Amino acid sequence: MLVIIRMQRLIYLLSYPFLWFISLLPFPMVYAFSDFAYLLVYRIFGYRKKVVRANLSLVFPDVKEQELLRIESRFYHHLCDMFLESIKTMNISEASLRKRYHLENLSLLQEMEKKGSVLVLFSHYGNWEWSILVNRFLSSKGYAVYQKLNNIYFDRLIKRIRGRWNTTLIPQKEAVRTVMHNEKSGQSGVYGLVSDQSPQAHRAQYWAPFMGVTVPIFNGPESLARKLGLSVVYARVSKKSRGHYALEFVPICKDGRQTRNHEITDQFLRLTEAQIRNDPAFYLWTHRRWKHRDKVPKSAKEASPLS
């Protein structure tokens, strides 16, 4: 164990100066690095290219190969941009972030949080990392559910960066316990979750069509909302131009207890699908979202598709 920790520390110490240097560069130079990264990641090494092509072919069976390749290329450009933008977050100023990450109808979220805790559901679309800006405008404590990093030093770095923006990170395994504890203690909060992950097939409690393919659906946010009566909104991130995004809050429900079973989850899926179909290039296609499609239980196969 000590050897592993030492290796993690060495990797961190070797990487940190480069990351810090990138974070201090002006945006034109950041995107110049991104263009170079695109050549390496896509053209030379072909990072997860097979996964990306398989995903695109699966969900867009009627789209011609030439158009799929165009989407693929634009996706890798965006992927590299987003990676460099995440590094830039280490030192980006609030003024700069406000210019680049426009918060639309923020008042909707602010009105909801006055009445209690809110779940803000993101998909792997656009740039969800810069949504940390939202915490500057909240009266409640802001939380973000995340996948804990294996490298303890990079994990601490992520927490420190988010801490600059009043964001408290919650490891995914502790999310339910944390939310329920806060509610019992009378501590309301705004919880951001990226909710289009693929749960383990044998643990899935709900299967539904996503982009025309039936897969297991992560329904943890809905379970919390219905049990605790939380408000739920969808965070619709759109990419306006390179390095410029807009975040719009779309209401899903004001009280989860007043919703039907799967209503919240189905609405989230519809909203995510609409974004992807509008411009597929900005979805995270390296994510193996449809890997369990061949394990669909009979009950799910007989279910009606989303309307």
pLDDT in tens, 258-305: 999 999 999 999 999 999 999 999 999 999 999 999 888 876 655 444
State the pLDDT confidence band at 197, using cuts at 50, 70 and 90: confident
Distance CA 36, CA 52 (A): 20
Task: Check residue 307 and give its pLDDT.
Answer: 36
Q: Of 17, 23, 12, nearest to 92 (Cα)?
A: 23
Residue 42: pLDDT over 90: yes
Buried b (16+ CB within 10 A) or exposed e, 66-93: eebeebbeebbbbbbbbbbbbbbbbebe
Closest CA to 199 of 294, 284, 288, 127: 288
> So what's the pLDDT on residue 301?
55
Structural domain boundaries, residue 51? 2-291
**Domains contained in the chain, number:** 1
- State residue 304's pLDDT score: 44
Distance, in Å, from the CA atom of 191 to the CA atom of 64, rounded to the nearest integer, reads 40
pLDDT of residue 305: 45
Range list of H helices, the chain: 2-24, 27-38, 49-59, 65-88, 94-100, 106-114, 152-163, 175-184, 220-228, 263-278, 298-301
**What pLDDT shows up at residue 53?**
97
CA–CA distance, 267 with 16 (Å, rounded to integer) = 41
User: Is residue 305 situated within a structural domain?
Assistant: no
Assess if residue 153 is contained within a domain.
yes
- 33 lies in some domain: yes
Q: Which residues of 1-24 are buried (b: 16+ CB within 10 A; e: fewer)?
A: eeeeeeebeeebeeeeeebeebbe
Q: What average pLDDT does the segment 90-117 reach? A: 96
Residue 193, pLDDT > 90, answer: yes
Inside any domain, residue 307: no
Nearest alpha-carbon partner for 216 in 202, 236, 234, 226: 202
pLDDT tens figures, 174-188? 999 999 999 999 999
Who contacts 284 (Cβ-Cβ below 8 Å, separation ≥6)?
A: 79, 124, 125
Considering the domain boundaries, does residue 262 fall inside one? Answer: yes
**Among 83-87, 199-203, 257-261, where is mean pLDDT lowest?**
199-203
The whole-number average pLDDT for the span 226-236 is 97
- DSSP strand pairing (118-122 vs 189-194): parallel
H or E stretch including 167?
A: strand 167-171
Q: Tell whether 183 is covered by a domain.
A: yes
| pTM of the predicted protein model | 0.93
In a domain, 155, yes or no: yes
Residue with tokens 């965006």, as numbered in its chain: 78
With respect to residue 296, please indicate whether it lies within any of the assigned structural domains: no
- The pLDDT score that the predictor gives to residue 1 is 76
Least confident of 8-22, 174-188, 198-212, 217-231: 198-212
Please count the other Cβ atoms lying within 10 Å of the Cβ belonging to residue 270: 13
Q: What is the mean pLDDT of the chain?
A: 93
